[in-house]
Amino acid sequence: MVRSRSAAALKPQDAYLQIGEVAERTGVTQRTLRFYEEKELLKPPTEIEGGFRLYSEEDIRRVEHIKQLQKLLGFTLADIKEMVEAEEMQEQLRAEDRAEADPEERRRRIARARELTERQHAVIRQKVDGLLEMKSRLEEKLQDYRAWLRELDA
Amino acid sequence: MVRSRSAAALKPQDAYLQIGEVAERTGVTQRTLRFYEEKELLKPPTEIEGGFRLYSEEDIRRVEHIKQLQKLLGFTLADIKEMVEAEEMQEQLRAEDRAEADPEERRRRIARARELTERQHAVIRQKVDGLLEMKSRLEEKLQDYRAWLRELDA
DNA sequence: TCAACGGTCACGGTGCGTAAGGGTAT
DNA sequence: CATACCCTTACGCACCGTGACCGTTG
């Protein structure tokens, strides 16, 4: 077992995964993972010992999220990168100690995060609207077909 | 005025458009229109005199439809070709004299068209579901931001 | 003659696939 | 030593166009 070496050495809990496992679990290839890293969609995960990439569960969620955005929105990786970066910023915001920060600074950040989220929301709403329209057109068609088939039965 | 030559010669009503006008009206380039034709997404429109392409309003609708499918679904042109072909078959079905055809043959065609439509419907439903989920996640976020901002006001 | 249109041949970006050549641990 | 992981480098490819360039037409 190769993978018990550095991961175990670093974290006995076996919290880190090698690229092969991540690939398997997320359904993408190792090549894709390295490619995403190259494009800075994934930050170079904590690499340790012999230059092996070691991923966290968080990294896995991120990969899954990227794939979802790709499938659902049909965006380019560049677009997705922007979205993901925005989301990351927001998580930072969420995580930081609320009382500690300068209120004015904090307000600006929240406002910025909100803007980004609102833009994403608008994009998605547009897509959903278009798709819902297509969907109902298809449903009408299906109605027609069913009616015609009944007609033929008579 | 180039376009008065063959279009007018063929159809005094000026029902046909040259590629340049189609490009302008649909927002794609001439090159893209030729490319679509090459990929058999657009049937070679009735070409006349010197090999000039002449397009109908129907062709324009088709181009717009293709662009919509691309934007909304993020499909490849190959996928879109399939969909468009299916739709075309269905229009044929719709147009043909219902009484005239052999009932058994007609039933088979309708059943086939219905299957295709149902597959498309399923695909779209999936997308819509995924997008709606993303949408509500974003809405939750927006709620949070608004709450935080109110919190800062207090 | 010039602008607008037509055609063809390539080149370019994206998102990976796929080998080549080579490490290190069991 | 074989095997099973991993690494980088780099060329290749399908898809979706975009340009460059040249001929024809009014």
Per-residue model confidence (pLDDT) at position A32: 98
Q: Which residues contact A81 (CB under 8 A, 6 or more apart)?
A: A39, A40, A41
What does the pLDDT read at residue B99?
A: 62
Beta strands in chain A (DSSP E): 17-18, 47-48, 52-55
Nearest CB among A68, A118, A135 relative to B142 is that of: A118
Which H helix or E strand runs over A85?
helix A77-95
A49 CA from C15 C1′ (Å): 29
Nearest to A117 among B103, B131, B145 (CB): B145
Radius of gyration of chain A (CA): 23
Mean predicted confidence (pLDDT) in B123-138: 95
Residues contacting A130, CB < 8 A, separation 6+:
B68, B71, B72
Q: What does the pLDDT read at residue A8?
A: 39
Query: In angstroms, what CA-CA distances link A43 with A36, A63, B127?
Result: 9, 11, 28
Nearest-neighbour CA in chain A from B86: distance (Å): 12
Tell me the β-bridge partners of A53: A47
Phi/psi of residue A54, each to 5°? -125, 125
Distance (Å, rounded) from C-alpha B69 to C-alpha B65? 6
Cα Rg, chain B, nearest whole Å: 23
Question: Rounded distance, CA A44 to CA A46, Å?
Answer: 6
Strand D footprint at Cβ < 7 Å? A 2-3, 18-21, 30-31, 34, 47, 51-53; B 1-2, 4-5, 28-29, 31-32, 35, 39, 50, 70, 75-78
* 8 Å CB contact between A78 and A92: no
How many other CB atoms sit within 10 Å of the CB of residue A84? 18
State the Cα–Cα distance between residues B18 and A82, nearest whole angstrom.
Answer: 40
Please spell the DSSP secondary structure of A20-56, one letter per residue.
HHHHHHHT--HHHHHHHHHTTSS----EETTTEEEE-
**B17-50: b (≥16 Cβ within 10 Å) or e:** bbbeebbeebebeeeebeebeeeebbeebeebee
Q: Report helix, strand or coil for A154.
A: coil
d(CA B107, CA A5): 65
| pLDDT of chain A, 154 residues: tens digit per residue | 444 444 434 444 457 899 999 999 999 999 999 999 999 999 988 777 778 999 999 999 999 999 999 999 999 999 999 999 988 888 888 887 666 668 888 888 899 999 999 999 999 999 999 999 999 999 999 999 999 999 888 8
Structure-model confidence comparison of residues B88 and B125, the more confident one: B125
Angle of CA points B132, B80, A69, to nearest 5° = 35
Residues in chain B with CB shorter than 8 Å from the CB of A128 are 128, 131-132, 135
pLDDT digits (tens, 9 = 90+) for A31-62: 999 999 999 999 988 777 778 999 999 999 99
CA of A80 to C1' of C24 (A): 36
Q: How would you label B95-115 residue by residue, b for 16+ Cβ within 10 Å and e otherwise?
A: eeeeeeeeeeebeebbeebbe
Q: Tell me which residue of B91, B143, B142 sits closest to B117, measured CA to CA.
A: B91
Residue A93, Cα to own-chain centre: how many angstroms?
Answer: 18
The alpha carbon of residue A1 is apart from the nearest alpha carbon of chain B, in Å, by 38
Structure tokens at B147: 């709450």
* Interchain contact, B113 vs A145, CB within 8 Å: yes
What percent of chain B is predicted at pLDDT more than 90? Answer: 32
